[in-house]
A = this chain, B = another copy of it.
């Protein structure tokens, strides 16, 4: 193990939290949850846990070994995949880095698996194929249990779901049915054996994705593995590795082997590196080889910009910001140069064949998404969306799982049309949007301009929200930016869950509000999405331990604390005759509280 890079990653439980594992009933699985211990007479609260073994004090973490390959057995039991030698790593995979400049390979070489020829009749070993065959997989049960966050009974709910049909409790069969209908996906490459499966769909909790990845300009493997662990600690449900430049094959290996969440990539980025950054030099052969390379490593979903078609490119001519998707611009350049449809579009069938042999999910990229308020909801954007709908049908016919990427930059009054058109054109395949940013005028604060749009579109039905960090448009996010982006998007997703009427979502709000009203400061911190920051802010002005018991904070001080006064009011009312009784009297129209006019 010596000489291997050993990134310092953050492990250990979150404050007042312990790991709880709920066993499956259909399958031999244990589903991780986070249990937050509370003070007073409050029961502990169980919440969704994306953080993986890193927050389990009993877990033995060694990133040079990777996480336990839990799903290996599941796949073996299905018996429809076969291990094989796999593609040999070539110099181009790591951008021709050698010697000191080469990030070391992950120490444990793993033999990849793929579908046995003609598996399940079509060669598909996807969750969609199983779902259609009526099979409830361990992945489905795992994801189902997670969704209930430890609840075993229905919870009070209200909300406006805009057609979402969220059950009181999610069953494995419900997950299966949603996947079979194309309304949900479980991104779960069979070669990502370390994965803790999760489900993305409109009738489940709204998920968030965090982008990490080095760029040619800055950052290293150590930083990227750390960012992944850091992102999931704060709640990222999936992570996209958008690395470019050198060493991306090896960095990706390190990330996947240590990731309990689905990893997404844009294979085009690596393909472009292999041709020295010259878009026109891209070929189907190089792209195809890259798909296989990454599928063998265990990437769970690929962004494929197959919706960018030649005739759409002139539609961007009068745009204020042109084409702002990296993948979209690369393919547009290729199309225009060669004056033909892209190999992504022309070879879409063959791409499906690769994807279904490993169960890599499609994330159909929105290469023509708007990059400014001015360009929102324009002809190019919606033309591509319609094409994505057509491609969805082709992928589904091949038993491939599909989600659809969405914008971008959209003012509030144009957001709902995005969701409505996506549902219509893409047949209810899950929507996965980047924000959208609701104004262009706040560089440095685009996590917030976009959280507004993200919360709204999540409410309207978007299944997963791709985070935006404060560094958007300015530079590569660092560790702090990643955390800020994740927490911001967790709160946006949660606001969406509340508004959709997701059963149980309000439990955490209520627990925190009760803690607030009871001056249980530690509980307020611990129930928050970021206990460390909340505690630090409180301690800035009231650092002493005794202050954690104070019935006020420095915001209003003791005399002006409305919550303290509210308690006085209740005590006074009880003394007088019982506040509930007073309320009854009022409701009955009793004489006591007849309004004086």
Contact = CB atoms under 8 A, between A and B. Distances in A.
Interface residues on A, range: 35 or more
B455 A572 contact: no
Contacts of A328: 562
Contact of A374 (B452, B506, B576, B593): B506
Interface stretch (A16-24, A127-135, A221-229, A308-316): A308-316
A168 interface: no
A512 B500 CA distance: 34
Interface of A: 158-160, 215-218, 244-245, 269, 272-273, 277, 279, 309-311, 313-318, 320-326, 328-330, 332-333, 336-337, 339, 341, 346, 371-375, 411-413, 438-445, 447-449, 451-452, 455-456, 459, 470-476, 478, 487-488, 490-492, 494-496, 498-501, 506, 508-510, 512-514, 516-517, 524-525, 527-530, 533-534, 537-538, 540-542, 553-563, 565-570, 572-573, 576, 579-580, 582-583, 585-586, 593-596
Contact of A244 (B449, B499, B559, B579): B559
- Name which of A321, A445, A455, A512 has the most chain B CB atoms within 10 A of its CB: A445
Contact of A471 (B159, B316, B413, B537): B537
Contacts of A558: 216
A209 to B, nearest CB: 16
B498 A244 contact: no
Given A528-B442, A579-B317, A560 B272 contact: yes
Nearest to A215: B557
B445 A586 contact: no
- Name which of A321, A447, A542 has the most chain B CB atoms within 10 A of its CB: A321
B572 A372 contact: no
Given A315-B586, A444-B528, 17 more contacts: A217-B557, A311-B586, A320-B517, A323-B569, A324-B562, A332-B566, A332-B569, A371-B516, A412-B459, A439-B491, A440-B509, A441-B491, A443-B528, A448-B491, A452-B456, A452-B492, A471-B555
Contacts of A439: 491, 494-495, 498, 509
A412 B569 contact: no
6 contacts: A320-B513, A346-B596, A372-B517, A411-B495, A441-B491, A476-B554
A488 B445 contact: yes
Contacts of A561: 326
Nearest to A579: B317
Contact of A506 (B373, B529, B563, B569): B373
Contacts of A559: 216, 244, 272-273, 277
A329 B573 CA distance: 13
A593 B314 contact: yes
A336 B477 CA distance: 54
Contact of A444 (B314, B509, B530, B563): B530
A413 B510 contact: no
A475 B554 contact: yes
Contacts of A311: 586, 593-595
A566 B452 contact: no
Contacts of A329: 562-563, 565-566, 569
B217 A541 contact: yes
Given A311-B586, A313-B569, A336-B569, A553 B412 contact: no
Contacts of A540: 475, 478
A412 B563 contact: no
Given A495-B411, A510-B374, A537-B471, A317 B455 contact: no
B411 A441 contact: no
Contacts of A541: 217-218, 475-476
Contacts of A441: 491, 494, 508-509, 512, 527-529
Contacts of A476: 541, 554-555
Contact of A572 (B277, B310, B337, B491): B337
Given A444-B537, A475-B538, A557-B245, A449 B321 contact: no
A484 to B, nearest CB: 9
A560 B412 contact: no
Contacts of A510: 320, 372-374, 440
A492 B380 CA distance: 28
A48 B472 CA distance: 26
A527 B443 CA distance: 9
Contact of A325 (B313, B324, B562, B567): B562
A171 B413 CA distance: 27
Given A279-B565, A554-B476, A557-B245, A449 B580 contact: no
A399 to B, nearest CB: 23
A468 to B, nearest CB: 11
Nearest to A161: B413
- Name which of A456, A533, A569 has the most chain B CB atoms within 10 A of its CB: A569
A473 B555 contact: yes
